[in-house]
A and B are shown apart, each in its own frame.
Chain A
Amino acid sequence: MTLEILYFAWLRERVGLPRETVTTEAATVDELVRELSAREERYALAFSDLSAVRVALDQDLADFDASLAGVREVAFFPPMTGG
């Protein structure tokens, strides 16, 4: 499965990329996070405190135990501060 992964705000800065294409067999967001964190230190640092990270699947907010089946775009970002 090929996923487009997007990072915003301080997650983008810590990972060092705004987006990337990843080939993965991860079934859930949790599995994807573990896979990315195992890759390199910068990912492990970005995902070190998941209570400060939000995830959207195909532009809808989701939980970390959500399935990635059929998903094309995953975005990671901190809690939103609009308004």
Chain B
Amino acid sequence: MKDGYKLIYKRPKTLLSTRMHYCPGCFHSTIHKFLMEVIEELEIQDKTIGVCPVGCSVFAYDYLDIDMQEAAHGRAAAVATGIKRILPDRIVFSYQGDGDLAAIGTAETLHACNRGENFTFIFINNGIYGMTGGQMAPTTLEGQKTTTCPYGRETADSGMPMKMAEIISQFEKVAYVERVSCDTPANARKAKRAIKKAIEFQMQGLGTTFIEVASNCPSGWKCTPEESLKWLEEQVFPYFPLGVFKEPAKRRQ
């Protein structure tokens, strides 16, 4: 470090310098970085095994310098269960989108939570199927337009957006549930803190930890990154409120 300079930011060693494929403004890259910072800070790179899903983060293992397994669409929770049960002293997380976790893999998600599997879910909820070109997700908001609901989501046809954090927090053996976002620096810092807490609770063996990220998708939402933040604040947060839904030994007020 040159005299007079102070290091205030650097890429965590656990994050590879590979150029990411994520769209500009997407929170995936931010969450990847937070997760890898947490792994570096807790010095658990040699103990961590990640599971990536089918969805935009299908290539997560190209960026994260840890051991990883690729799961079939929706099966990440089952795969993570298999890993954690065979290697109970390791730190295991699944990194999943809304189609993966809340549509095709709902059964695996709920049952892993019901068993209290001691791994961490990182759930990226952007209300759309980003990777396949912007189709409706189980979390697409009422009236929100996607390629498969071009006139807006009709709840009479498709039901209401699924509130996974609220659902997951009902399970006895789930230790910690928080919904976070990265739309402002303050919220981003909270997101990282939540991820760190989740991993720490896992290290203490407290049970399932579940971080839902109310995320954006400028490409799928057909807007600029800036507009996507506005949409989050005005449309998403009122329906998917941020906050802690469950904490160890403390139920939601």
Question: Does A associate with B in a complex?
Answer: no
